Amino acid sequence: MYLMDYHHHSNHSFDSKALMEEVCIKAIENNIKEICFTEHFSVNPLAPTYGHMDFSKYLQEIKDCQEKFQHRLTIKAGIELCEPHISLEKYKETLEPLNLDFILGSVHNINNQKLRLVLKDHQHHAYQLYFEELYKMVSTADIDVIAHLDLMKRYAFKDHGIYQFGEYQELIQQILKKAIERNIGIEINTSGLRAAFKQSLPAMNIVQLYKELGGEILTIGSDSHKADTVGANLQEAYSLAEQCGFNYIYKFEKRVPIPVKI
C-alpha cells in the first residue's frame, strides 16, 4: 500500500517543535511513501498563527529534505490556512508566488475567538456556528481540501459529548455539496483516533455522506505535531475510506489532485 500522510506540522508551525528532517526519517521507518508538510498560516494579526511562518526558510528546508531523502520519501510543500475565506486577496497575494503543492483550509476561530471560547460563550449553538463558518469557508476560499471537518468536537467532547449527526446533517450536506461543486476535497484526519473521543475528524458518517453525494477527492493525514507520531493511525483511516466505498486516496502536485489506488 502506498501510504501517504498529507497533514503534518513541523517547527515551522507555532505549535510544533518537530524537526523536518527527523519527521522524514521517522516517516521512512514507518513505511510512509509520501508526506506533505502543512504548516499553520494566517494573515490575520489576531490569530495565534500570525507572524510565525518564514516561507523562504520553510521552502528551503523542504528542498533540502527532498534532496536528502529523494529515493526513499516523496516530500510535498503544503500549508494549512486558518479561516482562508477572510482576507481572500491577502492570502492570494502571499501564496500565489510560492507555487505550493497543497492547501488545507480550516476553521480554528470564529469572529477572532478560538473555538474553545466560542464553545464557552455559545455552548448550545457552538456546533451550528462552527458548521456555518465552514460553509462560508468552502463557498469562497481558494483551498484544495477541508481540514478536520467536524473539529469542534475536539473541544466539546469532554463536557458535551459527541454531537448528534442528524441535528446538523442538512448543514453538513450543504458544506459537502459546495465542496464537490468547487472541486474541494475532504480529509480523514486521524488525530481524533488518538484523542479521548476515539473518532476520526470527520466521523465516518460524514465521509460516507461525501461519497454518496459524489465526492471523490479524499486525503489522509495524521495531523501530527511530533516526529514520533508521523503516520499514526493511517492504516485505520485507509480501512475507513474503503468501508465508505472509496477506491482511491489523493495526493497533490502543484495543487493538482492525483488519485492513488488503495
Of 112 and 240, the one with more pLDDT: 240
Predicted local distance difference test score (pLDDT) of residue 228: 96
| Mean of pLDDT values over 166-175 | 97
Neighbours of 77 (CB within 10 A): 21
* Alpha-carbon span 225 to 209, nearest angstrom: 29
Averaged pLDDT score across all residues of the chain: 95
Chain centroid to CA 95: how far? 17
Q: What kind of architecture, by CATH, is found in domain 4-261?
A: Alpha-Beta Barrel (3.20)
Q: What is the pLDDT of residue 236?
A: 97
C-alpha cell of 140?
A: 469562497
The secondary structure of residue 201, as a DSSP letter, is B
Domain locations in the chain as residue ranges: 4-261
249: nearest Cα among 70, 69, 32: 32
Q: Under a CB-based contact definition with an 8 Å cutoff, are residues 200 and 190 in contact?
A: yes
The answer to whether 252 and 77 have CB atoms below 8 angstroms apart is no
CB 84 within 8 A of CB 105: yes
Q: Cell triple for residue 77?
A: 510543500
Confidence band (pLDDT; 50, 70, 90) for 56? very high
How confident is residue 174, by pLDDT bands cut at 50, 70 and 90? Answer: very high
125 has a pLDDT exceeding 90: no
pTM passes above 0.85: yes
* Confidence band of 91 (pLDDT split at 50, 70, 90): very high
Q: What would the mean pLDDT of 214-235 be, rounded to a whole number? A: 97
pLDDT band at 175 (very low <50, low <70, confident <90, very high): very high
In angstroms, the CA 90 to CA 43 distance is: 7
Instruction: Find all residues with CB under 8 Å of 153, minimum gap 6, and list them.
Output: 162, 163, 192, 197, 199, 201
* pLDDT category of residue 119 using cuts at 50, 70 and 90: confident
